[in-house]
Amino acid sequence: MSNNRPPRFVVLEGVDGSGKTALFKLVAAYYGQFFSNLPLYTDLFPGSHQGTLGEWVYRFHRNQVTRAPSTSKVTQPALQLMHIAAHVDSIISRIAPTLQAGGNVVLDRYWWSTYAYSRPILSKDQTDKLIAAERMFWDPLIRPEVVYVTRKESLKPHQLTAERHRQLDAFYQELIAEQRKEGVTVHEISNDGTLAETWQILLETLGLPYIDMETVSH
């Protein structure tokens, strides 16, 4: 299998509670096991690698940084700009070098999340201008294949109301329509069934040979 070329740049996107992170972890493990001959960079945005700006922003966003202001005292646009800074750092330091070396990149979230989660507080024009600072660093790279994961009911109802879920999905759909017009490959898959069923659909969507979840996760 290692001789077959997988999609080089894959992004899992979706509203919180869609189950995308579980799928991301499986895809990341799949690439690590079966395409180990190629450089690989995986990350959960804004960042999951210890000691990076993205990991610090992740902890700050969850009030896990000592001697820092509470996120309740920081404006939402400022918080989103922190995410953008973390993304740009990852692009320059890790993502671009991996792709330039002929490797693969798999991400949980993309600049799309910054867009969708900024739209409830900013106008379309304001959001586009906010995102432009980050997009200029993505634009020179190869375009990703984006998998947008959907669910009728959130897996995190305690964190996200049904109304909020629908609102964010609408903003994602707004962006998906624009991105498709720009030639970006966007796949939409439902995660309303079992994780195993969605996993099989995801591999088919990406054109990857089927491997059961147990084999990938061990």
Q: What value does the mean pLDDT take over residues 68-87?
A: 93
What lies within 8 Å, CB to CB, of 80 at 6+ separation is 114, 117, 118, 130
Q: Are strands 104-108 and 145-150 parallel, antiparallel or unpaired?
A: unpaired
Q: What is the pLDDT of residue 5?
A: 80
Q: Which two tokens stand for residue 15?
A: 């509203």
pLDDT > 70? residue 82: yes
Q: What is the pLDDT of residue 153?
A: 85
Whole-model pTM above 0.85? yes
What's the pLDDT tens digit per position in 123-173? 999 999 999 999 999 999 999 999 999 998 888 888 888 899 999 999 999
Query: 9-217 sits in which CATH class?
Result: alpha beta
Residue 192 to residue 136: CA distance in whole angstroms: 35
Q: Which two tokens stand for residue 60?
A: 């700050």
Q: What is the pLDDT of residue 2?
A: 44
Residue 48 to residue 61: CA distance in whole angstroms: 13
pLDDT > 50? residue 1: no
41, 103 contact by CB (below 8 A)? yes
Q: What value does the mean pLDDT take over residues 174-191?
A: 95
Q: What is the pLDDT of residue 157?
A: 83
Question: Distances in Å between the alpha carbon of 109 and those of 39, 68, 216?
Answer: 20, 25, 21
| Helix axis angle, 124-138 to 76-90, nearest 10° | 10
Query: Distance from first CA to last CA of the chain, Å, rounded?
Result: 18
- Which residues pair with residue 188 across a beta bridge? 148
**Domain limits, the chain:** 9-217
